[in-house]
Amino acid sequence: MTVETIHSAAPELRFAPDDTGVISGYAAVWGKADSFGDTLVRGAFAASLAAHRAAGTRVLMLFSHDVSRPVGTWDSITEDDIGLRVEGRLVLDSTGGRDAHALTRAGALDGLSIGFVTRKATATQAGRRVEPVDLIEVSLVARPAQTAARVTSVRTAAEPRAAGIAALLQAAAVRLKGS
């Protein structure tokens, strides 16, 4: 089966049966101030991510920073040239995971936001330059503090297309006529 992509103003939808509920995006983008005036610099998460790996712990995937509302797990969190790239899987066997999946697919929940403890920050004219942080969680949110922190892709089960349904009906009609 091939993977089809639909482009829209909402996050990119990818139809693939084995990857249903997989989401990806940027939880933070380097050099862009958030609504609190914090600007994260590349490398800000490196020590925290290494500490999570060493301890065998995970950064939480939450709905709107609510620790009582986990919606999935982050499988990959890495720093790249753009920012903090995340990829994870919504738990579709849970109400929260299904709700987050539906809202993300619809584009109603397309922001990402980080929960962290600042280890070092330097005051700037616009706010703070934030360096090492302890990353606790990355949440799916409707309105992120950093406008560039967004879900970029959400995968969903293959959905039948009208042409595919029509072809199935035609094939069934031919078989019925031949019977």
Task: Provide the mean pLDDT of the chain.
Answer: 86
pLDDT for the residue 5: 40
pLDDT beyond 80 at 19: no
Vertex 91 angle, CA 89 and 97, to 5°: 105
What DSSP string describes the chain? -PPEEE-SSSPEEEE-GGGTTEEEEEEEETT---TTSEEE-TTTTHHHHHHHHHHT---EEEETTEEEEEEEEEEEEEE-SSEEEEEEEE-TTSHHHHHHHHHHHHTSS-EEEEEEEES-EEE-SSSEEE--EEEEEEEEESS-SSTT-BEEEEEE-----HHHHHHHHHHHHHHHHH-
pLDDT for the residue 164: 55
Q: How far apart are CA 152 and CA 149, in angstroms?
A: 9
Averaged over 82-105, what is the pLDDT? 95
Averaged over 85-94, what is the pLDDT? 96
pLDDT beyond 90 at 3: no
Residue-wise pLDDT tens digits, 63-82? 999 999 999 999 999 999 99
pLDDT for the residue 11: 57
pLDDT for the residue 7: 38
Rounded to 5 degrees, what are φ and ψ at 18? -85, -15
pTM: 0.78
pLDDT for the residue 162: 53
pLDDT beyond 60 at 10: no
Half-sphere CA count of 81, side-chain side, radius 13 A: 0
Q: How far apart are CA 145 and CA 35, in angstroms?
A: 5
Residue-wise pLDDT tens digits, 108-128? 999 999 999 999 999 999 899
